[in-house]
Structure 1
Amino acid sequence: MSTARKQATTLHRHLMARFPKAFPQDYDAILPLKLDIDVDIRERLIHQGEPVDPDLLRRVLANHTGRAGYLLAVLHRPGGLRYDLDGQPAGEVDALARSEAVRLLGEHQRRQKETATRHRQHRALEKQQQAAKAARIAERERRAAEKQRRREENERNRLRNLERKAAEDRAREAAKRGEQPPLPTVTYRKRRRPAPKS
């Protein structure tokens, strides 16, 4: 979180603690604020010995009044009144403020839809990447298994060739000596029987 954002968050919490009627903790209890309430806040805080940066205060108020909950309060709060720091009526919400609230809420909804669409696209892309990675890993494992199988087969063939050459050498030696060559060793493989069909 940036320093400016931390300062704004700290000031907003301070306003909620100092003026709970105007800045309630409960989201549903938000009230439309009187016009130029920043002047009242600065005067009240200066009187309490807590001066505040006007630019920071304006930024905090812009964030507060731009929230969807505040805009809904402007549109739907019974009585259509604005309130001061002590929660007392201080003016009315006019038609211009209502139309601006409708426009801003529309922008909120559009941004939320765009964010949701981006989130869905991001998740779909992540799933594609994970599937592609899993396919690459499976292919790598398949190739490694195939390479190992070929290596083992080559080793078996090499050993068979060595045994065959050794047998041929023994047979030649026996023939030179005039002996009967030994009978070759026959290895019988077990025959696989197909599994019965169920």
Structure 2
Amino acid sequence: MLDKLKKRRTQYALGKNLPIPETQVDSLIREAIRLSPSSFNSQSSRAVILFGKESDKFWNITREALRAVVPAADFDGTSKKIDSFANGAGTVLFFEDQEPVKALQANFPLYAHNFPIWSEHSTGIAQLAVWATLADANIGASLQHYHPLVDAEVAKTWNIPASWKLTAQMPFGSNEAAFPEKTFMDDGLRFRTHS
């Protein structure tokens, strides 16, 4: 697993030339989420996997939502950033279904306040699992957060159930640029080991 985590990097220079077929990418994403742990095995993570024109549609929705809130003088830079995501081959929209969360709250009232937090843990784990899996297949990706700005239009466009809460967006595609060297802060500031 560590070798996959070492390959996982943020890639903004995305292209449409996937090294494997879309069907295989779709299968990898599904399996990564399926195998991701969740609290009480709630399996609350959901995903909408968009390729090609459907992915472009998402980034156009995002661009127009941003146009309404970003000052005109700053919009060109924002639009170029959105272009970099739209240049990819696809996008994963990550959701957490609130129905299993509410059911767990009702069934285990002692932990009720924790289940929304644990749901956030589940989506984070699923996102990392997908990202590392894509990286292992030599597919670049980054993790973005344009919710709740795009929520209503996304729900309408892809007929998203009301109980699904959008948590992140992951544009992916071919790696069109090399990664810079990754730097790490000093271990002494991050870790403590006692025995």
Fold in common (TM above 0.5): no
Q: Which has the higher strand share?
A: 2
State the TM-score, normalizing by the size of structure 2. Answer: 0.21
Looking at CA atoms only, which structure, 1 or 2, has the larger radius of gyration? 1
Query: Which structure is higher in RCO with an 8 Å CA cutoff and minimum separation 6?
Result: 2
